[in-house]
């Protein structure tokens, strides 16, 4: 089947095809069509037409909620197939793949429920002859550009509210992991979304993403990905004064006080950084730990990190899969070489595994790095890999200072049994999400997004819907 979907039709692309690689063994999972500039133009034109003149604008919020609910049902029906595809495409374990589908289903159900609850408001002008109404309208044509680490999940955070608000859209998934995004578009079509409302074009950033962000007929770009790409997108959008919502990287502190239960501290520090081989925007890659327990906790993390079972995400008992691509593996190797040259101590990992079963894949051992100097590249930059750095503190003020010592501000955690301290630290951290005695959870009804250079938007929750709405004031002098 062709892999681009434009104006209600599956079609090939004018830029040939590209392989989709399984990071477990570098085999080819599929060949997908690649969009050329003409395909991008056709997709935007279809979305424009569907927004300006199609039946979509006449759908009620309740009807759109019904469509989202149907998509959720279809996700449940195809859960296993989608989870498997996500594993083949990203390398994550099948358990994580299934969890992703369940989370995505919950996001569609959340916005299905919210769609018709968002009614604008009446403003009290104090006049008996004036009716002042605030109405929420769709923005128009949205370009939705997503990364490779949680392809389906990140896309659902955009597609579901964009549909709920009544927009039309052109989706551009990561060229590294396009398969489940194509599948989601299939489900949107099956759920009865009219032609032109949801379109998908495949290809890389420069040839497909950039033309979308520069396009005159695109009204909004919602982007999740790296900081530098986010900067380029904001710059490219400036000319046409598009709305931009960018969700970018993170360098997330995991602050652990000495009164934390030992097992809890170790379990969560490992989950924080090694989940999906560290390829998580909220990865707790900086362990910031109180001096008095640091040695014992780090020793135990090092011991357990060496026991993590790497392998094929589809196999039973595998805990962590490979990195997503050869290019990303090279980047991680580069970070560790930099740490070595700075004189840091590599407590474990720091290499590719020597297991012959893993030799063709993009595997990297879970790695713990200590003795980094303040200002080290490893502490400041997002590595997006299984690399844990360790910093120590002895006072609460120092812990807060270290936790905020980053250009990013996506997420962070504080572990302590002292609830007063937990709340003081949580209030003081400049991060979009702060977990107390937990790591990584999110919820469809709670906003997600970053402060600082982690982004300028919010996804999920009511604000995640508002991102896709224009606010209009209608002043009616009766
Ligand atoms: P990336 O920035 O390289 O690519 C993301 C997307 O942008 C891809 O679809 C890519 O093709 C496209 N793109 C690249 N150049 C472009 C351009 N000039 N114009 C338009 N589009 C362009 O990011 P990645 O490597 O795919 O993903 C990893 C990054 O995503 C990490 O930094 C991670 O922290 C971030 N991320 C953030 C969140 C969040 O919620 N804040 C969630 C997941 C991932």
Taking the centre of ligand 1 as the mean of its atom positions, its distance from the CA of residue 205, in whole angstroms, is: 9
Q: What pLDDT does residue 160 have? A: 98
Q: Whose CA is nearest to atom 13 of ligand 1?
A: 205
Ligand 1 pocket member 410 (CB < 6 A): yes
Question: Considering the chain, what percentage of its residues have pLDDT values greater than 70?
Answer: 100
Average pLDDT over residues 287-316: 98
Q: What is the 3-state secondary structure (H, E, C) of 170-207?
A: EEECCCCCCHHHHHHHHHHHHCCCCCCCEEECCCCHHH
Find all residues with CB under 8 Å of 228, minimum gap 6, and list them: none
In this structure, the dihedral spanned by the alpha carbons of residues 259, 265, 266 and 271, taken in order and rounded to 10 degrees, is -170
Burial environment of residue 29 by CB neighbours within 10 A (0 to 12, 13 to 18, 19 or more): middle
Q: Which of 86, 96, 175, 247 is catalytic?
A: 247
| Residue 462 structure tokens | 């009511």
Taking the centre of ligand 1 as the mean of its atom positions, its distance from the CA of residue 229, in whole angstroms, is: 6
Q: Give SS3 for 166.
A: coil
Taking the centre of ligand 1 as the mean of its atom positions, its distance from the CA of residue 225, in whole angstroms, is: 2
User: Quick one: pLDDT band at residue 118, thresholds 50, 70, 90?
Assistant: confident
Q: Which residues pair with 459 in a beta bridge?
A: 448
Asked if 65 and 163 touch (Cβ cutoff 8 Å), the reply is no
Q: What pLDDT does residue 163 have? A: 98
User: Quick one: pLDDT band at residue 15, thresholds 50, 70, 90?
Assistant: very high
Per-residue burial over 197-219, b if 16 or more Cβ lie within 10 Å, else e, is: bbbbbbbbbebbbbbbbbbebbb
- Tell me: the pLDDT tens digits for 220-234? 999 999 999 999 999
Domains of the chain, start order: 4-248+454-476 (3.40.605.10), 253-436 (3.40.309.10)
Q: What pLDDT does residue 87 have? A: 98
Q: Whose CA is nearest to atom 23 of ligand 1?
A: 225
| Residue 403 structure tokens | 């936790």
Average pLDDT over residues 72-92: 98
ipTM over cut 0.85: yes
Ligand 1 pocket member 382 (CB < 6 A): yes
Is 247 catalytic? The answer is yes
Taking the centre of ligand 1 as the mean of its atom positions, its distance from the CA of residue 104, in whole angstroms, is: 19
Helices (H), 206-320: 210-214, 227-238, 262-274, 291-305
Per-residue burial over 277-309, b if 16 or more Cβ lie within 10 Å, else e, is: bbbbbbbbbbbbbbeebbeebbebbbebbeebe
- Tell me: the pLDDT tens digits for 159-188? 999 999 999 999 999 999 999 999 999 999
Question: Considering the chain, what percentage of its residues have pLDDT values greater than 90?
Answer: 99
Q: Whose CA is nearest to atom 26 of ligand 1?
A: 147
User: Quick one: pLDDT band at residue 375, thresholds 50, 70, 90?
Assistant: confident
Which atom number of ligand 1 is nearest to the Cα of residue 228?
A: 2
């Amino acid at each position: 089947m062709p892999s681009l979907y434009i104006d209600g039709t599956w079609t090939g692309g004018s830029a040939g095809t590209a392989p989709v690689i399984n990071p477990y063994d570098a085999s080819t999972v599929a060949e997908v069509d690649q969009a050329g500039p003409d395909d991008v133009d056709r997709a935007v034109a279809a979305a424009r037409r569907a927004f300006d003149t199609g039946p979509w604008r006449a759908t009620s919020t309740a009807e759109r909620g019904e469509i989202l609910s149907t998509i959720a049902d279809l996700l449940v029906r195809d859960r296993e197939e989608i989870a498997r595809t996500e594993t083949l495409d990203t390398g994550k374990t099948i358990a994580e793949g299934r969890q992703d589908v369940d989370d995505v289903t919950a996001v569609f159900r959340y916005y299905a429920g919210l769609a018709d609850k968002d009614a604008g408001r009446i403003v009290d002008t104090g006049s008996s002859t004036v009716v002042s109404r605030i109405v929420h309208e769709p923005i128009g044509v949205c370009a939705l550009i997503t990364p490779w680490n949680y392809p389906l999940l990140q896309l659902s955070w955009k597609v579901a509210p964009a549909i709920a608000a009544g927009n039309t859209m052109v989706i551009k998934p990561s060229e590294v992991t396009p398969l489940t995004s194509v599948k989601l578009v299939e489900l949107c079509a099956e759920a009865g979304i009219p032609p032109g409302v949801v379109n998908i074009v495949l290809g890389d950033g420069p040839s497909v993403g950039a033309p979308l962000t520069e396009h005159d007929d695109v009204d909004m770009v919602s982007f999740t990905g790296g900081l530098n790409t986010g900067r380029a997108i904001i710059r490219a959008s400036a000319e046409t004064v598009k709305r931009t919502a960018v969700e970018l990287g993170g360098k997330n502190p995991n602050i652990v006080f000495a009164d934390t239960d030992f097992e809890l501290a170790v379990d969560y520090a490992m989950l924080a950084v090694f989940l999906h081989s560290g390829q998580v925007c909220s990865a707790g890659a900086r362990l910031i730990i109180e001096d008095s327990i640091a040695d014992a906790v780090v020793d135990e993390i090092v011991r357990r990190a060496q026991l993590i079972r790497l392998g094929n995400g589809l196999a039973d008992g595998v805990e962590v899969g490979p990195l997503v691509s050869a290019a990303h593996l090279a980047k991680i190797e580069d970070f560790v070489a930099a740490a070595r040259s700075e004189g840091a101590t590599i407590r474990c990992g720091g290499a590719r595994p020597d297991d012959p079963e893993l030799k063709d894949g993009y595997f990297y051992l879970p790695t713990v790095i200590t003795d980094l100097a303040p200002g080290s590249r490893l502490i400041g930059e997002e590595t997006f890999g299984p690399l844990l750095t360790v910093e120590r503190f002895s006072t609460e003020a120092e812990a807060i200072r270290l936790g905020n010592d980053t250009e990013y501000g996506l997420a962070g955690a504080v572990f302590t049994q002292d609830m007063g301290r937990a709340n003081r630290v949580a209030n003081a951290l400049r991060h979009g999400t702060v977990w107390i005695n937990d790591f990584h959870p999110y919820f469809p009804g709670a906003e997600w997004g970053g402060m600082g250079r982690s982004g300028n938007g919010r996804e999920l929750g009511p604000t995640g819907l508002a991102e896709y709405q224009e606010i209009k004031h209608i002043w009616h002098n009766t």
